[in-house]
Amino acid sequence: MTRLSYFSYRVFYDNDPPRVGHTPLTDAQVDAALHKFCEDLPGHLAGDPSVTVKTEPMLPDRNARLVVVGTTLDVVNTDAAVQTCAKSHDLNATRLPHI
């Protein structure tokens, strides 16, 4: 049985400060981007067929989700995949300390 490591991230949309030439996302677009991020993330962790992704809102911030990734990959590869996936959806991701 393969042992998974778990990494937690705050995945969020941030338009502060506004970027030149960038149209801010609406609340509905942010919700859609966060949902799509969670759907797409396993594909960015393609080296791990055992990957799990769990998510929950980070209230009161409607533009953020707590995402917990279970994977056999190391922290460096997992961080890189999360960052790449987040950027592809116009989102940011910050790894959280273990609780």
Domain harbouring 13, CATH code: 3.30.70
pTM (predicted TM-score): 0.88
Range of the domain at 84: 5-94
Alpha helices in 45-98 (DSSP H): 75-88
Residues 68, 97: Cα–Cα separation, whole Å: 12
- Within-domain flag for 99: no
Number of domains in the chain: 1
> Closest Cα to residue 67, out of 39, 43, 26, 32?
39
Is 84 a member of any domain?
yes
42-98 residue pLDDT tens: 999 987 889 999 999 988 888 999 999 999 999 999 999 999 999 999 999 999 987
Is 11 within a domain?
yes
